[in-house]
Chains A and B, each alone.
Chain A
Amino acid sequence: MGPIAGVTRAPDPVPRGVAVLDGRAAGPPSRERHWARVGLGAASVLAGLFLWEAIGTLGLINRIVLSPPRDVAAAAVQLVRSGELAMHVGVSLHELVVGLTLAVAVGLPMGVLAGWFRRVAWVLRPLTGAFYATPIIVFAPLTVAWLGIGFWDKAILVFLEGFFQVFVTVSAGVRALDDAWLRVASAFAARPAFTFRTVVLPGAVPYILVGVRLATGRGLVTVVVAELLASTAGLGWMVAYYGQTFKIANVFVVLLVTAGLGVLADAGIRRLEGHVEQWRATV
């Protein structure tokens, strides 16, 4: 009994407006609004590029210093064609990957140990507490003093930066493992190795990935800045060299590449985190 709620009635002589609450468009964000935002953003970028180009072309600011989009595009083409960009990207990535691999190789087992055995975490507290928040890049002059300018001084910095990220996230993850799961495993008299494979590992993997993601992001920044300060090759070196020789267009290209790499790595690992979530459900 009672009228059926909410169904639109047949057309009716009484005029109907639409109620608006709180003076703003009420309700959850609609499809149209989403596309409007995207459109506005795109328009803004286009307008910005146009303005940038215009200022450079009109000579309001020295063209070389300002480096409008057309120059940047031309520089990009040249750097890619000559293979120079690829070479330096390779150098930086090499430093990054080696450093990250070491970071995971050392940080992961130590993180698991620290998460599992409380005392291990306590013993390592002075180190991790002091250095977790400190950006490791400040030690660049030190590594250069120890190892000279080259490959390993950068790789070590990436290793240190990454180690702390991986260590902290993994130990937090292992510590956060639901006690209940572990009790279930022991109730079934599971061997430690089995427990490790079926409970600890799947439970910790998301945290491991987060740690790797953070380590990668910070590692990339560390590599580029360390190269900026002292190096003979790499993305940071390009920024420094072309900056000092006033080839600003090249610098912009490198910055775009760096930003792009960072975004790709971040997005890629997030994707992986998503896949792992599904895998977890099946283990």
Chain B
Amino acid sequence: MSSSGAPLCDLRPSDGVEARLDPVTADDGLALRVEALGIDYWLPRLGQSLRAVDGVSFDAEAGSFVSLVGPSGCGKTSILNAAAGLLTGFTGRVIVHGRPVTGPGRDRALVFQQAALLPWRTVLGNVMYGLECHRVSRPEARRRTQELIQVVGLAGFEHHYPHELSGGMQQRVNLARALAVDPRLLLMDEPFAALDAQTREYMQGELTRIWSIKRKTVLFITHQIDEAVYLSDRVVVLSARPGRIKAIVDVTLPRPRSLALKRTEKFLEFERRVWDLIEPGGGQPPPDAGGAVR
């Protein structure tokens, strides 16, 4: 199997194509609001509680792309799981489109890091899975599935099994499944981490293209700074455990963004800025480092 499938369209800025925003209710326009989120885990063997996330607050406007970056263990995945409703028992609030999160819901969909595809189902079956769970009618489900398979660039692979697909293609299926249930908030947990560098870069471009067609609010977790800056409107930088907000950087690069943008001076400047926030040079703790050094 060839590595990632042929691109369906060039990644040049397409002038005159308006990004289609999903209709949003007239609340405060904030798709996501995280307020003073605190997450503690209990370690039975040590008899201690571990503070994974400490008082994190940030917002995401409807239709915007927000990334969470930070060192390992800073609680990025925990925050995502809290927003998804998979993690309960946290302090603070997570509000999605005006409603506080208490459990999984139809307005949010998750794209996992590992191949979270049902191996015994074809591509078609996998994309349909979310729709089945949400009990969408058959004809509607089929229509959406076919549309999304086109959008993510997997036309012709409907009847393939996951093991016959490359890593990049599997992630496209993941994405299609998440988009099929028409969520308002798309939560992505390092979806490209398991891909090789080239495929990863390519998939970043693909994600931007797909996102321009199916505009959702996205909360994206990654370790790679360039990926975060390239994809997002806003980058939230977290500190090491316990995770606190170090800084929030609004990436004002123009859209649509092609991969070539990654080599421009403006882009590199943003990248440098985020890097400096994570690893300040000179060994001096930055003034807004959050928790005190103990």
A residues sitting closer than 8 Å to B (CB atoms) are 1-9, 14-23, 26-28, 30-32
Contacts and interface: CB of A to CB of B under 8 A. Distances in A.
Contact of A5 (B43, B89, B90, B241): B241
B189 to A, nearest CB: 13
A6 B48 CA distance: 9
B119 interface: no
A16 B38 contact: yes
16 contacts: A2-B240, A3-B290, A3-B291, A3-B294, A6-B48, A6-B241, A14-B91, A16-B49, A19-B52, A19-B90, A20-B88, A22-B86, A23-B86, A23-B88, A27-B44, A31-B44
B285 interface: yes
A21 B87 contact: yes
B216 to A, nearest CB: 24
A243 B163 CA distance: 56
A141 to B, nearest CB: 45
B73 A5 contact: yes
Pick the 8 closest A-B CB pairs, nearest first: A3-B291, A30-B44, A5-B241, A17-B89, A18-B42, A19-B89, A20-B89, A19-B39
Contacts of A4: 294
Given A4-B294, A30-B45, A15 B40 contact: no
Interface centre among A2, A3, A5, A31 (most CB of B within 10 A): A3
A3 B293 contact: yes
B8 to A, nearest CB: 37
B26 interface: no
B292 A3 contact: yes
A240 B42 CA distance: 57
B202 interface: no
A6 B291 CA distance: 13
Given A6-B241, A19-B39, A1 B283 contact: yes
Interface in B278-294: 283, 285, 289-294
Nearest to B81: A21
Interface of B: 38-45, 48-52, 55, 73, 78, 81-82, 86-91, 239-242, 283, 285, 289-294
Nearest to B286: A1
A2 B70 CA distance: 13
Contacts of B294: 3-4
Contacts of A20: 87-89
Contact of B50 (A3, A6, A17, A28): A6
Nearest to A20: B89
A7 B290 CA distance: 16
A8 B48 contact: yes
Contacts of B291: 3
Nearest to A6: B50
A28 to B, nearest CB: 8
A144 to B, nearest CB: 49
Nearest to B77: A21
Contacts of A22: 86
B52 A2 contact: no
B289 to A, nearest CB: 8
Given A1-B283, A8-B48, A8-B49, A18 B41 contact: yes
Contacts of A28: 45
A21 to B, nearest CB: 5
Contact of B293 (A2, A14, A15, A18): A2
B125 to A, nearest CB: 24
Contacts of B289: 2
A16 B241 contact: no
Contact of B240 (A5, A7, A14, A26): A5
Nearest to B48: A8
B241 A17 contact: no
Contacts of B73: 5
A1 B89 CA distance: 30
